[in-house]
Chain A
Amino acid sequence: MSAQEQLGVKAQTVETNVDRGSGNLKWRHFKGKILTVLGWFSIVFGLGMLLVLILDVVNKATGIFSGGTNWLTWEFFNNFDSRFPARAGAKAAIYGTLYTITLTILFAFPLGVAAAIYLEEYAKDNWFTRLVEINISNLAAVPSIIYGLLGLQVFVRWFAFGRSILAGALTLALLVVPIIIVASRESIRAVPSSLRQASYALGATRWQTVWHVVLPQSIGGILTGSILAVSRAIGETAPLITIGALTFVPFLPRNLFDVFTVLPIQIFNWTSRPNDDFRALAAAGILVLLTILLTINALAIYLRNRYQKRY
């Protein structure tokens, strides 16, 4: 076979391929269009489910679309739980959530921020620091119900706090501390080191620098992250059920060692009663819970914008 022939054959092959390619080009671009449509579909599907969920809960709670009974009344906020749906309310649960979460913040916020300050400003690169870091990333992935088992053993039994608000708040605090640490570290790390060096040059000690320079600069991010951690704690049900928070509490807790219930547990309890009226009450509880969470998240977004970095 001559060189020309070889070339000819090759040229032909190339041509055919080019032909095939351009014939396919529309199809090749069309595949991209299909993916775009599927991408929009996934997003619309996810957000659509969210919308359906909210509309369904609003309707079941207030009967606004189906013309049913409105359960989200003054009595709902002002009555204790009852065996009769018409007399049942979420007062104990709402107060229980308020007390538990306040305590959780008191424990978790200083602890989380202090750990973050240590890791960012003080820690040397040694085995202790690495161990702490591995533990934090591991703890963030432990199922929340396992924290409940920890709380049951350590706070309820060993510390003998009983099935109390204190035990519940400590359990939730351990659950959210890793979230606060991660968010706070990120925010502290974003403070430029020139500010620290300027502070040291003025004769400030390490802690003076942290307290007067680093913390004021990073407080926006720390607060935002902590608020998101709190909203996680407000919605948690499983760990509190595990430590033995009660499902039926017809009174307000009087002290730290009193038994308690919280809004998510009240919702769970009403949902598990096979009675449409109680399920409607559960929907009213969900509406209250989602409103609280939405407000808190809006606050977090507001703070994030307010303290936006100006370097």
Chain B
Amino acid sequence: MAVTDLRKPINPVRAIGERIIQIALLLAAAVSIFTTAGIVFSLIFETIAFFSEVSIIEFLTDTEWTPLFANQRFGIWPLVSATVLTSAIAMVVAVPLGLIAAIFLSEFADDRVRRTVKPLLEILAGIPTVVYGYFALTFLTPLLRNFIPTLSIFNSLSAGLIMGVMLIPIVASLSEDALSAVPNSLREAAYGLGSTRFEVAVHVIFPAAISGVIASIVLAFSRAVGETMIVAIAAGQNPRLTFDPTVPVMTMTSYIVQVSLGDTPYGSLSYHTLYAVGFTLFLFTFVLNIFSYWMVRKFREVYD
């Protein structure tokens, strides 16, 4: 006897209505595919237009970036170095503080503390980045200049440090999830062997959750690379190839903001540079996201 699907309507008019609804819902889900396709195609489309005017060799080997000057140079490295520098400074703040907070919350704090502190920390991630940029420029930089007199008004140090504060909850929250997911049998076994709380946390639970922890760090780094307003406000607008944190620099995202604020005619070379830089940025974050995804898959310890 054939099984009837009770969810299918008997009334033929209603059946058509159900079908239309289902197709509409499917189209809504397909929007995510169109969005990705839109991003990839618009970036590639304009980037190809860019490389028809500027050689890719120059893009990858020149050490100066001056597309808006009379003497145009198109070396991406000053923008990349600034992006890596500010992100690295952010990581110096976010990784140790985030990881210690995660270990503490997962293995040492009681449930009440964990349930209060986690949402509070997440407020940090919810503050608009333009606010952090303001804070870096008008509060932290003047403060740091008391200790480092040579610090410029715009510098990657302040921007990076504040970006690090913003990223603490991302590292802390995702790492805490990874640590909490380690099964209790491992904790009990380690305690049974006479380990202290510290040894259980650091020598047993942390290594067991390492893939999730690394994924959280890579994701935070990817956020830092794509972060825009903090660096656009506080790190400066001067493309230069340097790793000196006290001078103004220009990240990939700051460049996009700078060009967008001006009047950029459609199809001009400066319009195309937006997309060439955007594509480079997209590749960076894409590789980092894929790496983080792969890390979780490849090194996940399975305990069942």
Interface size class of B (residues with CB under 8 A): 35 or more
In the complex, chain A residues 173-204 whose Cβ is within 8 Å of any chain B Cβ: 174, 177-178, 181, 200-201, 203
CB of A38 within 8 A of chain B? yes
Contact of B32 among A35, A136, A141, A293 (CB under 8 A): A136
B38 touches A32 (CB 8 A): no
B257 touches A42 (CB 8 A): no
Cα A81 to Cα B302 in complex, Å, equals 58
Query: Do A52 and B257 contact each other (CB < 8 Å), given the known contacts A43-B104, A114-B28?
Result: no
Q: What's the nearest-Cβ distance from chain B to residue A6, in Å?
A: 26
B21 touches A207 (CB 8 A): yes
A39 touches B108 (CB 8 A): yes
Binds A, one of B6-14, B53-61, B71-79, B184-192: B6-14
CB of A264 within 8 A of chain B? yes
A289 touches B131 (CB 8 A): yes
A-B contacts counted at CB < 8 A amount to: 265
Contact of A148 among B124, B129, B260 (CB under 8 A): B260
Query: Do A238 and B168 contact each other (CB < 8 Å), given the known contacts A40-B104, A53-B127, A207-B21?
Result: no
Cα A50 to Cα B98 in complex, Å, equals 15
User: Which residues from chain A contact B137 at a C-beta distance below 8 Å?
Assistant: 271
Q: What's the nearest-Cβ distance from chain B to residue A204, in Å?
A: 8
Cα A290 to Cα B33 in complex, Å, equals 34
In the complex, chain A residues 255-311 whose Cβ is within 8 Å of any chain B Cβ: 264, 267-268, 271-272, 279, 282-283, 286, 289-290, 293, 297
B36 touches A237 (CB 8 A): no
Q: C-beta contact mask, A128-151 vs B, less than 8 Å → 1, else 0? A: 000110011111011111111110
Contact of A268 among B29, B133, B135, B223 (CB under 8 A): B133
Contact of B253 among A136, A145, A207, A236 (CB under 8 A): A145
Cα A236 to Cα B257 in complex, Å, equals 13
Query: Do A39 and B109 contact each other (CB < 8 Å), given the known contacts A32-B197, A139-B32, A178-B32?
Result: yes
Cα A244 to Cα B259 in complex, Å, equals 10
A237 touches B29 (CB 8 A): no
Binds A, one of B144-152, B242-250, B281-289: B281-289
User: Which residues from chain A contact B135 at a C-beta distance below 8 Å?
Assistant: 53, 56-57
User: Which residues from chain A contact B29 at a C-beta distance below 8 Å?
Assistant: 114-115, 118-119, 123, 132
Cα A146 to Cα B42 in complex, Å, equals 10
Q: What's the nearest-Cβ distance from chain B to residue A53, in Å?
A: 5
CB of B201 within 8 A of chain A? yes
Query: Do A149 and B43 contact each other (CB < 8 Å), given the known contacts A42-B100, A143-B228, A279-B138?
Result: yes
B226 touches A143 (CB 8 A): yes
In the complex, chain B residues 125-181 whose Cβ is within 8 Å of any chain A Cβ: 126-135, 137-139, 165, 168-169, 172
Cα A112 to Cα B28 in complex, Å, equals 7
A146 touches B281 (CB 8 A): yes
Query: Do A38 and B131 contact each other (CB < 8 Å), given the known contacts A114-B25, A143-B226?
Result: no
User: Which residues from chain B contact A50 at a C-beta distance below 8 Å?
Assistant: 123-124, 127
Contact of A141 among B96, B219, B227, B274 (CB under 8 A): B219
CB of A36 within 8 A of chain B? yes
B39 touches A146 (CB 8 A): yes
Q: A39-B101, A145-B228, A153-B46 are in contact. List 7 more A-B contacts (CB 8 A).
A: A38-B104, A39-B109, A49-B165, A56-B135, A146-B282, A242-B257, A272-B233
Query: What are 25 A-B pairs at a CB distance below 8 A?
Result: A25-B196, A35-B201, A39-B108, A42-B96, A42-B97, A46-B168, A53-B135, A111-B28, A115-B28, A118-B29, A143-B225, A143-B226, A145-B256, A146-B226, A146-B278, A149-B256, A157-B266, A181-B32, A206-B8, A232-B126, A235-B130, A238-B256, A268-B229, A272-B233, A289-B131
